[in-house]
Structure 1
Amino acid sequence: MTIQTSKLSDPAVRAFVDAVNAHDRDGFMALLAPGATMSDDGSDRDLTDWIDREIFTSHGHMEVDNESRGGRDLIARYSNDTWGEMRTKWHFEVEDDGRISRFETGQA
């Protein structure tokens, strides 16, 4: 069962999912702390290169099925034009100012 984005518990994560689904690259970048990092399937990646390839040029979309850790861990069906749809896990580290300093994703 999908959780409506508006019902996600953590405001930063909710804004992240909204930005991905709206294909709002500027809004997405504004959510990130300076020097933010990310990993995909356990390997650190270049954040700008990864988001452009996996989200913004390939029409990424997240449907959240489950959240835990106060909304900072998600299980979501993620789809894009490159890979189709897959079940993914997401982990977010959010700073005191509400910006995301790191996110990790991979197949669930």
Structure 2
Amino acid sequence: MPIAVNKLTDPAVRAFVGALNAHDRESFQAALAPGATMSDDGSERDIGDWTEREIFSSNGHMDVERQTADGLGLVARYRNDSWGEMRTAWRFTVQDGKIERFETGQA
């Protein structure tokens, strides 16, 4: 049973997942700190290109299965029109209520 977005512990992570699932570019950008960075399967990626390709233009969606005690780590079923569905791990670095960095990859 997925964890409801509004039950995610960390407010910045909750905003990130909520905006991702709503395909709300404006709210997604607002959840990120200026100059935010990311990696996918251990490779650094351009956050703008990656989010457009993997989230917004491909209907990305995250069903969170579990979160770490600090709320900054998630395991989720992630799906999009490009890759189908896969089990993924997410780790977030939050500063001043914004996502400074996220790392994702297959779980």
Any gaps of 5 or more consecutive residues in structure 2? none
SS at match of 1:2: coil
Determine helix, strand or coil for the equivalent of 1:59: coil
Aligned residues with identical type, % of pairs: 66
RMSD: 0.6
TM-score, normalisation: structure 2? 0.98
- What's the secondary structure of 2:70's corresponding residue? helix
| Other-structure match for 2:102 | 103
SS at match of 1:70: coil
What are the Cα deviations for residues 43-68 of structure 1, in whole angstroms up to 9, with x where unaligned?
00000000000000000000000000
2:33 paired with 1:33: yes
1:13-92 to structure 2, matched below 5 A, reads: 13-92=13-92
Counterpart code for 1:106:
G
* Letter matched to residue 107 of structure 1: Q
> What number of residue pairs does the alignment pair up?
107
Runs (4+) off by over 6 Å: none
Q: Distance in 1 between matches of 2:70 and 2:12?
A: 11
* Amino acid in the other structure paired with 2:6: S
**1:69 positional shift:** 4.0
1:93 and 2:86 aligned: no
Q: Deviations over 1:6-48 (max 9, x none)?
A: 1010000011110000000111011111110000000000000
Report the Cα distance in structure 2 between the residues aligned to 1:29 and 1:70, rounded to whole angstroms: 23
Using the TM superposition, give the Cα deviation of residue 100 of structure 1 relative to its aligned residue in structure 2, in angstroms: 0.6
Tell me the distance in 2 between the aligned counterparts of 1:69 and 1:35: 27
Within 2, Cα distance between the matches of 1:12 and 1:35?
16
Cα deviation, residue 70, structure 1: 1.2
